[in-house]
Copies of this chain bind each other. A is one copy, B any other.
Amino acid sequence: MRRWNGWGEEGVVFPLSEKARVLLQEQLGPGTLPREATLEEVLSRVPPSRLPPHPLVSPDPEERLRHARGQSLPDWIFLRSGQIPAFPDGVAFPTTNEEVRALLAYAREVGARVIPYGGGTSVAGQVSVLPGEAPVLSLDLRRMNRLLRLDEKSLLATFEAGVQGPDLEAQLRAWGFTLGHFPQSFPYSTLGGWVATRSVGQESLRYGRIEDLFAGGRLEAPAGTLLLPSFPASAAGPDLKQAALGSEGRLGVLTEATVRIRPLPKAEAFAAVFFREFGEGLEAVRRMAQEEVPLSLVRLSTPEETAVNLALAGQSRGLALLEAWLALRGAGPGRALLLLGASGTRARVSQALGEALGIARAHGGVYAGQAPGRFWAHHRFRQPYLRNTLWEMGYAVDTLETAGTWNQVPRLLLAVEAVLREALGEEGERVYAFSHLSRVYPTGANLYTTYLFRLHRDPGTNLARWRKLKAAASQAIVAHGGTISHQHGVGTDHLPYLEAEKGPWGLEALRALCRALDPWGLMNPGKLV
């Protein structure tokens, strides 16, 4: 059973190493766990549904609770405290296009708003139910999870869009293929959710972002059905796939998606490198990106994050030796960890890693074997469980991300971390922030910042702290030329900053698209635009 107010499966726990506990105490002081609402308490507070009955719509309070919020930090604050601003009035689990269309017609008839719901792993408020006059219908697509067509000759697979990561990969693996899209939310997030949020997988350097993988599909919009054909490429006017990508449920419901697949890789390998300082690592990964070395993973941590990574790995003889050896080679406390990965044929893997290590060495990098990379790969889907552990220790953890050109990356990183560290100064609270780059491009890179702060007993205070931090970081991002989101989308949390990036006429163009496909304004209002 999935946790209703946290990450992942009940019973699965990722304990923090002693070393990491100590580090946290040092950085933030002792945490306080606010009072947690029980499931029963919260269920007793779910108000009666405002939706007239429909055979496909469940008014069950637990379903409604489980579809009320996503996985952002504010979502957690509401869920854990039990102070949830609004619930959907009903949840439907359609299994066909026709049922989706019937539900859209019903929503129009009864004046309901519709929130398409995939895995509910949204971290920017995309699935959150907002208080309002109109009843809200959550449209859970996870029962639409079949592989509909597989074209092995053209390397295209068509799935129903509610298919979740592991199910999708299992269905492809049975035929010898992979999509290669592995966001950290992979165990729960869905193909439709990936498309609707322009998601980025951890091996996107090799496989591409979801926009590169999404070849076409079917969008059931209130106005009608939009079929997106799967041409290899087309010059026939603006590309409407690119309107579905990132549409966050505003244009309609994606019911089918055709994706570009690849044969399962024959080999996969990782390598770790330590740089004496972050700047050297930055130059090295820029060169790797610009020389188009065919890697699958490039993940460069700041010195702070490198320290956290080492602390998380715990205490072992191997690690102690590694640290001693690194110190000897000049990579002391300011060292920055770079993880590299490659996949494909054996020859290409070894060539790519060879080229990359050559570049790393030329920038002062010290090769540190394969173990750290394998450790990362092994734990990558377990890591989000740390959010539960940390919360229970009295710490809130959130992540922020952006992307900028190489020209801007260093300043962007400094600015975001600096404002986060200072944002709670007035309250006498510290913020622990550290970052990595996890996707490089020839023209720039993303930045992914994790920040922790202490929880207060009062959920309102926690929310206010988060708001301060989010506003400060978002303003810094905009001011330093970053995009308001490289991978998490817009939702409610980034909406105020979208105009800075799209401009007034860009927003108008997006609104016009919404009006064209959803003239009655049914779809997920208050999100994106």
Query: Is the CB of A69 closer than 8 A to any CB of chain B?
Result: no
Contact with B along A206-234 (1 / 0, CB 8 A): 00010100010000010111111111111
Q: CB within 8 Å of B: which residues of A?
A: 151, 153-156, 197-200, 209, 211, 215, 221, 223-240, 242-248, 260, 262-263, 286, 290, 294, 403-408, 439, 441-446, 481-490, 494, 498, 501-506, 508-513, 515-517, 528-529
In the complex, are the beta carbons of A488 and B529 less than 8 A apart?
A: no
Which residue on B lies nearest to A500, using beta carbons? Answer: B229
A467 CB to nearest B CB, Å? 20
B503–A226 touching, CB < 8 Å: yes
Closest to A497 in B: B236
| CB neighbours of A489 from chain B (8 A) | 235-237
Q: Is the pair B490, A237 in contact by a Cβ cutoff of 8 Å? A: yes
Report yes or no: B505 in contact with A235, Cβ–Cβ below 8 A: no
- Nearest-neighbour CB distance to chain B for A458, whole angstroms, equals 32
A444 to B442, CA, bound (A): 26
A221 cross-chain contacts in B, Cβ below 8 A:
505
CB–CB B154/A406 < 8 A: yes
Q: Sorted from nearest, which 3 A-B pairs have the closest CB atoms?
A: A232-B444, A512-B516, A242-B242
Q: Is the CB of B405 within 8 A of A505?
A: no
Are A502 and B260 within 8 A (Cβ)? Answer: no
**Chain B residue at minimal CB-CB distance from A515:** B512
Task: Tell me which of B200, B228, B246, B512 contacts A237 (CB under 8 A).
Answer: B246
Chain B residues whose CB sits within 8 angstroms of the CB of A494 once the complex forms? 236
Q: Most chain-B Cβ atoms within 10 A of its Cβ — which of A155, A244, A441?
A: A155
Contact A230 to B197, CB < 8 A, known contacts A154-B406, A237-B489, A237-B498: no
Complex CA gap A230/B405 in Å reads 8
Chain B residues within an 8 Å CB radius of A262:
442
Interface of A is mostly: loop
Given the complex of chains A and B, what is the CA–CA distance between A263 and B350 in angstroms?
A: 25
Whole-angstrom distance from the CB of A451 to the nearest CB of chain B?
Answer: 19
Closest B residue by C-beta to A244: B238
Contacts of A224 on B, CB cut-off 8 Å?
Answer: 504-505
Known: A211-B239, A225-B503, A443-B156. A403 touches B511 (CB 8 A): no
Query: Which of B209, B236, B482, B515 contacts A483, CB < 8 Å?
Result: B236
Contact (Cβ within 8 A) B508 A223: yes
With A155-B290, A483-B236, A490-B237 known as contacts, the answer to whether A509 contacts B226 (CB < 8 A) is yes
Bound CA span A489–B513, Å: 22
- Residues of chain B within 8 A (CB-CB) of A407 are 151, 153-154
Q: Which residues of B contact A508 (CB under 8 A)?
A: 223, 516-517
Q: Which residue from chain B places its CB closest to the CB of A241 in the assembled complex?
A: B242
Greatest chain B CB density within 10 A among A215, A232, A403, A502 is at: A232
9 extra A-B contacts, CB within 8 A, seeds A226-B505, A231-B404:
A153-B407, A233-B403, A234-B486, A236-B494, A236-B498, A237-B490, A237-B529, A262-B442, A509-B517
- Could you show 7 A-B contacts with beta carbons less than 8 Å apart? A155-B443, A198-B234, A225-B503, A226-B505, A234-B501, A243-B509, A511-B516
Chain B: which residue is nearest A408 at the CB level?
B154
Assess the A242–B238 pair: CB atoms within 8 A.
Answer: yes
Most buried by B among A238, A506, A515: A238
> Is there contact, CB below 8 Å, between A528 and B483?
no
Contact, CB under 8 Å: B226 / A237: no
Task: List the B side residues contacting A445 at CB < 8 Å.
Answer: 232
Determine whether the beta carbon of A236 is less than 8 Å from that of B405.
Answer: no
In the assembly, what is the distance between CA of A377 and CA of B260, in Å? 32
CA–CA, A231 and B485, complex, Å: 10
What's the Cα separation between A508 and B223 when bound, in Å? 10
Q: Is the CB of B232 within 8 A of A239?
A: no
Q: A151 to chain B: which residues have CB within 8 Å?
A: 405, 407
Q: Give the docked Cα–Cα distance between A41 and B269 (Å).
A: 72
Contacts of A290 in B (CB 8 A): 155, 263
